[in-house]
Structure 1
Amino acid sequence: MNKKVQFSDLGVRDYKDTWEFQEKLFQEILDIKIRNRREELSLETPNHLLFVEHPHVYTLGKSGDIDNLLINEKQLEVKGATFYKINRGGDITYHGPGQLVGYPILDLENFFTDIHKYLRFLEEVIIKVMADYGLKGTRSDGETGVWLDVGTPFARKICAMGVRASRWVTMHGFALNVNSDLGYFDNIVPCGIRGKMVASLNAELKVDKVDEEEVKQKVLKYFAELFEAEIVSKKIETLHL
Structure 2
Amino acid sequence: MFSTGSCSLLTPSSYKIKSNYSPSSLSSSFAICSETVPFDDSRRIIHVNDASKRRCECLNLYKELIPYKQAWEWQKSLVQRRYSLIEKEEDSSDTVIVLQHPSVYTLGTGSLEEHMNFDMDNAPFEVYRTERGGEVTYHGPGQIVVYPILNLRHHQMDLHWYLRSLEEVVIRALSSSFSIKASRIEGLTGVWIGNEKIAAIGIRASRWVTYHGLAVNVTANLSPFKHIVPCGIKDKEVTSLKQLLYGTETDTSEVIDSMLIDMAYESLIREFSEVFQVSLDFKFVTDLNL
Q: Out of 119-128 and 230-239, give the one that drifted further.
A: 230-239
Which of 189, 195, 203 lines up with 2:235 in the alignment? 195
Give yes or no for contact 1:60–1:66 (8 Å, CA) kept in 2: no
Aligned residues: 227
Q: Match of 1:169?
A: 209
Provide the identity percentage.
37
CA distance in structure 2 between the partners assigned to 1:32 and 1:239 by the alignment: 15
Q: Match of 2:127?
A: 83
* Cα 1:240–1:228 shift into 2, 3 Å: closer
Relative contact order, higher structure (CA 8 A, sep 6+): 2
* Residue 167 of structure 1: how far off its partner (Å): 1.2
Q: Match of 1:214?
A: 263
Give a deviation string over 1:88-142, Cα, whole Å, max 9, x none. Answer: 0111100000000000000011212111111111101100111131211100111
User: Any idea what SS the aligned residue of 2:111 has?
Assistant: coil
Which of 111, 123, 134 lines up with 1:64 in the alignment? 111
Q: Match of 1:40?
A: none
1:93 has 2:137 as partner: yes
Larger gyration radius, structure 1 or structure 2: 2
Give a deviation string over 1:181-218, Cα, whole Å, max 9, x none. Answer: 00000010000000210000000001623521221111
Where does the alignment leave 5 or more consecutive residues of structure 1 unmatched? 37-42, 150-154
Output the amino acid matched with 1:53.
Q
CA distance in structure 2 between the partners assigned to 1:121 and 1:8 by the alignment: 20
Q: Match of 2:180?
A: 135
Q: Out of 199-208 and 230-239, give the one that drifted further.
A: 230-239
Give yes or no for contact 1:18–1:239 (8 Å, CA) kept in 2: no
Give yes or no for contact 1:146–1:159 (8 Å, CA) kept in 2: yes
Where does the alignment leave 5 or more consecutive residues of structure 2 unmatched? 1-51
Q: Match of 1:126?
A: 170
TM-score normalized by structure 2? 0.75
1:5 has 2:49 as partner: no
CA distance in structure 1 between the partners assigned to 2:234 and 2:242 by the alignment: 23
CA RMSD after TM alignment = 1.8
Give yes or no for contact 1:64–1:92 (8 Å, CA) kept in 2: yes
CA distance in structure 2 between the partners assigned to 1:4 and 1:236 by the alignment: 17
CA distance in structure 1 between the partners assigned to 2:289 and 2:173 by the alignment: 32
Output the amino acid matched with 1:157.
K
* Residue 157 of structure 1: how far off its partner (Å): 0.2
Give yes or no for contact 1:9–1:52 (8 Å, CA) kept in 2: yes
Stretches of 4+ aligned residues off by more than 4 angstroms: 237-240
* Cα 1:12–1:239 shift into 2, 3 Å: farther
